[in-house]
Structure 1
Amino acid sequence: MERRTWFITGVNSGFGRHMTERLLERGDRVAGTVRKRGSVDDLKAAYGDRFRVAHLDVTDLSEVRRVVDGAFGDLGRIDVVVNNAGYGLFGAAEELTDEQVVHQLNTNLLGSIQVVRAALPHLRRQGGGRIIQLSTYGGQATNPGASLYHAGKWGIEGFMEATAKDVAPFGIGVTIVEPGGARTEFRFDSLQLADPMPEYDDSPAAMVRQAKDRSRPPLGDPAKMADLIIASADQEPAPLRLVLGSDSYRAVRAALTERLAQIEPQEAQAATTDIAPGE
């Protein structure tokens, strides 16, 4: 098996941690980033020079570029860049503070965009590579009470899909990963909820207030999902989307089917706004 070098944001928990452990176990090199210093000291002690770790808050866009440049500078070639860092923010749009809105988009959208922008010059010069973007089924489907979370995920999916077309001539593949619910720290530890407004108590948005209920664990096995994300780097061409979890498949398929049903009856009407031949 070919050994690769990976750059992964947010390796201290969730999919980032699972992927890093598996990659190091099989002999790959990983350059990882963490927000909490010391949170992966066990991996550093176990794997030494094969595990490079840097402190990074992806909302610091200039620091993103410095860390990415440093990783390529120290390691030479990096084969796979994984945008994993992010968190959930749930609540009705009106319940969120301005600060929460800005921080959510800076983390889940602008931070991921900047990682890609920083990595692309290096990937082009080395003649190719792979970019893997962690998204969610919520990058294609929506739930009430998650408007800002969806805004970031729909935004990053649009950015990545267009970028995939831009960089394909350089041998750079792009994969957007859309997991369903998984038993990681994301749901119970990193997920943030807006302060509830009583006006929304009986609205659909109130459903997210139960998001941290541990009596209803998610279906997804994060270790199995991590294995498939890693395996996707071997696929040629790169799969543009990787749907993980039966709940994700059902939600994405239903959303796409509904979207088509909404626009297909408008085909004739849409054409009426074209400039007629000869006009």
Structure 2
Amino acid sequence: MSRTWFITGTSSGFGRIMTETLLARGDRVAATLRTPAQLDDLQQLYGEALWVAALDVTDTPAVHATVDRAFRELGRIDVIVSNAGYGLAGAAEELNDEEIARQLNTNVIGSIQLTRAALPHLRRQGGGLILQLSSMGGQIAFPGLSLYHASKWAMEGFVEAVRQEVSGFNIDFTLIEPGTAQTGFRDKGMVMAAVMPEYIDTPAHALRASFPWIGDEHKMVREMIASVDRSPAPQRLALGSDAYRLMKSALEQRLAELEANKAITLSTDLA
């Protein structure tokens, strides 16, 4: 069944691969990115099947205006893919205020405003699905990525709450939680904070060294797309063996900690 998709962050990585995959199978895509010329090759191949708009998700009025225009010009949009984002690496003390604000404005506020802009349209049309790109970093944490993790954990909580708010309108969400993949994220999607000498050779800088890529980005995108056909929609979709292994371990540790403190926890109720 052919669908119409609205996707942010389509210049590279998962957003670009998803756009290419959907167009090739005959779907219609509203693709947004900061530099529309980066999709000129796809525009020439697919013509009106590809609707392109310039968008920086940190510009809240532009997010709402672009979503409104997409629905107005395309009619029904079945799936919203909140994909735009990047990583900020560095110890918390190394980050400056501008870097912190930009990370949260892009990964958190931008995604929240995209959802808020889409919900009235999805409600009026009788439903739809929002895929929120999170990460295994929305369930686990590595030193040196504190702000990136803050953004992903924030969005996981936001989505869990909003899913319940709009369930009566036939609107659903899936949190996509990929592990490592060769999407160019490390080279193009990661900003490195200035190094403080005090943090050299500490765990905060461990991720500045190379690490193995586990996931196949094309297989991951195929599963993201396939998840839309599942009913009910999966609330979370982890992708990659590293995501499974690390998230499972983290969740088991949290449960063990909860149980270890059970007596204290229960003792604090009103008598």
TM-score by length of 1: 0.95
Which deviations, in whole Å up to 9, do the C-alpha atoms of 1:19-76 show, x marking residues without a partner?
1111001110000101123010001111111100000000001110000111011111
TM-score by length of 2: 0.98
Who is 2:147 aligned against? Answer: 148
Query: Which aligned segments of 4 or more residues in structure 1 are displaced greater than 6 angstroms?
Result: none
Matched residues in 1 for 2:22 and 2:9: separation?
15
Who is 1:46 aligned against? Answer: 45
The secondary structure found in structure 1 opposite 2:181 is coil
Which deviations, in whole Å up to 9, do the C-alpha atoms of 1:106-146 show, x marking residues without a partner?
00011000000000000000000100001100000000110
> Does structure 2 conserve the Cα–Cα contact (< 8 Å) formed by 1:183 and 1:217?
no
> Does structure 1 conserve the Cα–Cα contact (< 8 Å) formed by 2:36 and 2:52?
no
Shift of 1:217: 4.4
Residue in structure 1 matching 2:237, options 242, 246, 264: 242
Which deviations, in whole Å up to 9, do the C-alpha atoms of 1:151-204 show, x marking residues without a partner?
000000100111111111111111000000000111112211111111111321
Alignment of 1:190-229 (within 5 A): 190-210=189-209, 213=210, 216-229=211-224
Q: Aligned pair 1:255/2:250, yes or no?
A: yes
Who is 1:12 aligned against? Answer: 11
The secondary structure found in structure 2 opposite 1:11 is coil
Who is 2:22 aligned against? Answer: 23
Matched residues in 2 for 1:266 and 1:217: separation?
36
Q: Aligned pair 1:61/2:56, yes or no?
A: no
Q: 2:148 is matched by which residue type in structure 1?
A: Y
Q: Aligned pair 1:275/2:251, yes or no?
A: no
Q: Percent identity?
A: 58
The secondary structure found in structure 1 opposite 2:5 is strand
Shift of 1:208: 2.1
Matched residues in 2 for 1:18 and 1:222: separation?
8
Matched residues in 1 for 2:50 and 2:198: separation?
50
The CA RMSD over aligned residues, in Å, is 0.9
Q: 2:195 is matched by which residue type in structure 1?
A: P
The secondary structure found in structure 2 opposite 1:236 is coil
